[in-house]
Structure 1
């Protein structure tokens, strides 16, 4: 088998459990990407992953304009998942800002994403629009996970209101960004295995939301003296957490 570490090899998520020897039918968008964009041919090397751990080197067994199949050759575990399980609780941002926040969180090793509606948030979603947006964010996660070499596909929870979610929030450490706080996101002497990171909307949390979050065990932290955009704050805090307690060391 060709050494896939020495050249770019397409990496694709497959929404089914994989095993060595499987022949896997690829999706329509994957077929288009492999054939029309990358111009691959039968016999090309691929890497598949099912989001359950590890990845599967494979070979493109068949490809035409409408379909493609891949033969799974082996299973390997490169161990790219962080020992720190971070849930990013992100206030829903407008337009591409939310896509950016979600994609960068996946690249930075987040374990789960919880989109939240807040008092000052300007995005209102319900019914079919909410379902479509949730599916869209799941697609953003898949694409970012393929690019970043993730072995486990982060979960995108169904968006909900902050006030209802706070009572169920978990994590050994619960952190929320607050520019008035004095400590940083990676302060502390103990090493947690799980963190929930709460990021507010463009206009910030209301005083009532800050009080409710504190009552639910969230510690206010800040990212230096500057005010970051909502889509920048999450990735910046995640990088700090991964440097202190995760796999950036």
Structure 2
């Protein structure tokens, strides 16, 4: 299988350019040579056939050839906002969420968050997580890279959410008497699907109430207690099945 690489700049047939540093490193690790094929994508749909034209010690030049249509994305947008688990678990969560087709990820600071980030440290972690999403998109065959948003507090993020339309597709992961996800999804018109999930220890009752006030419906993913890094993935997988099944 040809090496697949994401490039932020728009691509077009005949374009010749030097790959960004990270992408060039992948080419060098794979020991590609001038004339070898690779595939590039820029997030605008499909992917581009390309060839290596020059290998330097640190840089790699390529030429873009033909565009190929490729439709491997989910036909609906699934977004998750989550109380951040510890670093290693967050890395794995972003990787797997990307493989499952997530469109956007919002890291949140909540009352029970173990991981606390702000300032430059937060910006560095978000840049790292975005790179994890890029790598997972390249590996999994996706033609779109999910956006990892800057870290925000739950209260600030909720306040910025648009006023919900009736039967908005917004869910908050809960337990106990919360209805199952399948029942909550039934009858909701297609649109933006958004899930809010808590950190280790879950959301507090006040945080769940604040989410409900912004149009989030309490839902359960089943009778088992899921870890903070498992619940968003379970939601993504269940939603992909529910929304893809015949009515």
Aligned counterparts of 2:150 and 2:180: Cα–Cα separation in 1? 29
Q: Which residue of 2 aligns with 1:21?
A: 14
CA offsets, 1:94-120, max 9 Å, x none?
121111111111111111111111000
Q: Which residue of 2 aligns with 1:5?
A: none
Taking the TM superposition and a 5 Å limit, the aligned residue runs for 1:168-207 are 168-169=160-161, 172-187=168-183, 188-207=186-205
- Determine if contact 1:90/1:114 at 8 Å carries over to the other structure: yes
Q: Judging changes above 3 Å, is the alpha-carbon distance between structure 1 residues 239 and 191 closer, same or farther for their aligned structure 2 residues?
A: farther
Consecutive unaligned residues of structure 2, counting only runs of 5 or more, are: none
- Determine if contact 1:89/1:199 at 8 Å carries over to the other structure: yes
Q: Which residue of 2 aligns with 1:236?
A: 234
Aligned counterparts of 2:148 and 2:17: Cα–Cα separation in 1? 25
1:136 and 2:163 equivalent?
no
Q: Judging changes above 3 Å, is the alpha-carbon distance between structure 1 residues 248 and 117 closer, same or farther for their aligned structure 2 residues?
A: farther
- Determine if contact 1:31/1:65 at 8 Å carries over to the other structure: no
TM-score by structure 1 length?
0.91
**By how many angstroms is 1:248 displaced?**
11
Number of residue pairs aligned between Structure 1 and Structure 2: 241
- Determine if contact 1:93/1:123 at 8 Å carries over to the other structure: yes
Q: Which residue of 2 aligns with 1:4?
A: none
Q: Which residue of 2 aligns with 1:3?
A: none
CA offsets, 1:205-241, max 9 Å, x none?
0111011111111111111111111111111110100
Aligned counterparts of 2:10 and 2:196: Cα–Cα separation in 1? 32
Taking the TM superposition and a 5 Å limit, the aligned residue runs for 1:210-225 are 210-225=208-223
TM-score by structure 2 length?
0.91
Aligned counterparts of 1:13 and 1:38: Cα–Cα separation in 2? 16
CA offsets, 1:17-39, max 9 Å, x none?
1101111211223223222x312
**By how many angstroms is 1:173 displaced?**
0.5
Structure 2 counterpart SS, 1:75 = strand
Taking the TM superposition and a 5 Å limit, the aligned residue runs for 1:11-160 are 11-35=4-28, 37-160=29-152
**By how many angstroms is 1:195 displaced?**
0.6
- Determine if contact 2:45/2:70 at 8 Å carries over to the other structure: no
CA offsets, 1:53-77, max 9 Å, x none?
2211111111132111111111122
After superposition, the CA RMSD in angstroms is 1.9
Aligned counterparts of 1:55 and 1:247: Cα–Cα separation in 2? 28
Consecutive unaligned residues of structure 1, counting only runs of 5 or more, are: 1-7
Aligned counterparts of 1:125 and 1:79: Cα–Cα separation in 2? 36
1:163 and 2:155 equivalent?
yes
Q: Segments of 4+ in structure 1 off by > 4 A?
A: 246-249
